Amino acid sequence: MRIIILGGDGYLGWPTAMHFSRLDDDVAIVDNFTRRAGHLERGTGSLTPIAPMQDRVAAWEQVSGHRIESHVLDICDFTALRDLFEKFAPDTIVHYGEIASAPYSMIDRDHAWETQRNNVEGCMNVIWAMREVCPDAHLVKLGTMGEYGTPNIDIEEGYLDYEHNGRTDRLPFPKLPGSFYHLSKVHDSHNIHFACRVWGLRATDLNQGVVYGIHSDDTELDDRLLTRFDYDEIFGTALNRFCVQAVIGHSISVYGKGHQTRGFLNIRDTIQCIELATRTPAAVGEMRVFNQFTELFTVMQLAEEVVTAARHLGYNAELEHVDNPRFELEEHYYNPTHTKLLELGLKPRLLSDELIETVLHTVERFKDRVNPRAIDPATRWR
Ligand code: NAD
Ligand code: USQ
């Protein structure tokens, strides 16, 4: 495959790029370091020391013998993006390149707008550039399970069969997202769906759950190949934050009752899912939707799993219910379907004590880099 990975400097994009490169696909990565800039703005950073993108690419070539093409480019620059698509002629475009934080989008009006502008404009550019120069390519777009919210009915994979006043239709599943960030993904889904229906583009919208974990097969080869690992209140996600908190002796921050249920998956399974989605592309004119997660947990269950694993390693880990900074249901029904990736061959790596301990061990190596000031939630939904 000739594959472009947008957001290739990110937590998921970098290990995905190495994975396809190792499999001998022709890989180009694109990033404008928005995530690194977001950390500079907040005075925070990745737990793992991450090399500049160009150094990581050079280290990868040295370690693996494979070359990844890299481009410093803002996806919101339409001309530059279209030129790259024209020159590289991708058959697959994996689009990770968005601002990925719900709290960031809730800081204030400017951060809400910057998140939606960057994400919607970037994705809009991707579909227009595809239409103009590579209409046969397959777009694999990272959406999020949070697009659906937590409705009191079963969640289907993208579409629902409706019967209304004696008539039936299959329509996009209703969306009830919980932040301006999650809303940006809903806007993207509508725009991509439109491009598939009207222009005949082909796309897979991956409604991914919360990702955890620190390593892929390739990041383990050399410290210069590490991917980022965020633990701060803005960019860090639940289980990753809990592991850092356990190691530095901070109480594990369960927001509210902790009965909120979400879909979760290991970073290695993200890569597996992307590979499965890219190797069997959507049909012309189709926007497929896969719900991409392997397990459901309540936040409490996750916190308890981390407490158990951390205590096993000798840490005196404890969880604490903190006043929930978000506006979200803490008790709700949650039953999302997630069979399509399994049907394509996904072999989930389920959460285990051993897996959490691996993360804890890596956190231990870099614990001196933790900024404790960055951990407590300060961004509130209202
Ligand atoms: P990340 O922030 O680490 O990676 C995204 C990358 O895109 C960053 O390196 C950023 O600099 C880049 N980027 C953003 N805007 C850009 C622009 N205009 N031009 C060029 N590059 C740009 O985030 P991640 O955790 O790797 O997430 C990747 C994707 O997966 C995101 O779209 C996110 O919404 C989605 N997702 C992530 C998770 C998760 O738990 N990590 C779960 C569900 C969905
Ligand atoms: N939570 C805590 N304590 C914490 C952090 C989070 O209890 O210290 C709770 C939150 O209140 C929420 C749940 O854990 O109920 C998940 O929060 P999160 O910060 O781990 O994840 P979220 O904000 O939903 O966003 C993350 C990624 C985002 C992706 C999304 C997938 O940052 O890019 O889209 O997961 S999903 O949640 O399925 O929409």
Sorted by where each begins, the domain ranges of the chain are 2-374
- Which residues are catalytic, by number? 144, 181, 185
Gap from CA of 161 to ligand 1 centroid (Å):
32
249-288 confidence digits (pLDDT tens): 999 999 999 999 999 999 999 999 999 999 999 999 999 9
pTM above 0.95, yes or no: yes
All residues at 6 or more sequence positions from 40 whose CB lies less than 8 Å from its CB, including other chains = none
Tell me which residue has tokens 């397990």.
Answer: 295
**Ligand 1 pocket by C-beta < 6 Å: which residues?**
7, 9-13, 30-35, 74-76, 96-100, 118, 122, 142, 144, 208, 210-211, 228, 237
At 214, is the pLDDT very low, low, confident or very high (cuts 50, 70, 90)?
very high
* Confidence (pLDDT) at 110: 98
Q: Give yes or no for a contact between 214 and 48, defined as CB atoms under 8 angstroms apart.
A: yes
Closest CA to 235 of 35, 59, 43: 35
C-alpha distances out from residue 167 to 155, 171, 197, Å: 21, 13, 22
Confidence of residue 373 (pLDDT cuts 50, 70, 90): very high
Which of the four CATH numbers 3.30.365.10, 3.40.50.720, 1.10.287.890, 3.90.1150.10 does domain 2-374 have?
Answer: 3.40.50.720
Note the ligand closest to the C-alpha atom of 37: 1
Of the ligands numbered here, which is closest to the C-alpha atom of 48? Answer: 1
Instruction: Please tell me whether residue 206 adopts helix, strand or coil conformation.
Output: strand
DSSP alpha helices (H): ranges in 180-284? 180-199, 238-248, 267-279
Which ligand 1 atom lies nearest to the CA of residue 101? 34
The answer to whether residues 201 and 195 touch, using CB atoms and an 8 Å cutoff, is yes
List C-alpha distances in Å: 71 to 14, 112, 178, 319.
13, 27, 33, 43
Three-point CA angle 271, 79, 19, nearest 5°: 15
Q: Give the closest residue (by CA) to ligand 1 atom 41.
A: 211
Closest CA to 139 of 54, 199, 71: 199
The tokens for 189 are 């889904």
